[in-house]
Amino acid sequence: MKPLRPALLAGIAVVSGVLSWAGAKLWDSLGELPGVPAAAPVVLAVVAVVLLATAISIRARLRAQRDREPDARGVDPLSAARAVVLGQASALVAALAVGVYGGTGVFLLSLLDQPARRTQAVTAGLAVLAGVAVVVAALWLQQICRLPDDNDNDDDPAAPAVR
């Protein structure tokens, strides 16, 4: 499994943000732009907390195992892999959400004179912050569950063959 790169996540956020801004502008010119869901920042914040709690738990268990503490619970490799996959999937979706709510929020900045749109702009901003928190927590979880680099490189022709 390859680690997610922050540049990929930033690219997803930027592209989806530009498309969201353009879509919001077009939609508003043709009719009434739908509102930003109030639950969006809450759901993203809950996902960030779950990922953060998982990362802290795995990190503490790995540290206890490394320090050979008595009664230390080890980390099941399959559970760690599942946590990383959950984190990566969450980071991809959160990057998309950051772009969508960011683009919509930027468009809503031009409509701050309307109280309803001002509230939606604040909600979109909170969703962006919560989405960034998901991405940060997921990347930290990925870093914690990373295996040490293997010194034996089979692809390197100059590496000595071990038989």
pTM for this prediction: 0.84
pLDDT tens by residue, 58-105: 998 888 887 777 877 777 889 889 999 999 999 999 999 999 999 999
pLDDT range class, residue 150, cuts 50, 70, 90: very low
- List phi, psi (to 5°) of 56: -65, -40
The residue segments making up the domain with residue 53 are 38-144
Residue 27 lies in a domain: no
**Is 80 a member of any domain?**
yes
The count of structural domains within the chain is: 1
3-state secondary structure 21-73: HHHHHHHHHHCCCCCCCCCHHHHHHHHHHHHHHHHHHHHHHHHHHHCCCCCCC
Q: What tens digit of pLDDT does each residue of 10-28 get?
A: 999 999 999 999 999 898 8
CA dist 69 → 3, 19, 36, 63, 72 (Å): 30, 52, 49, 9, 5
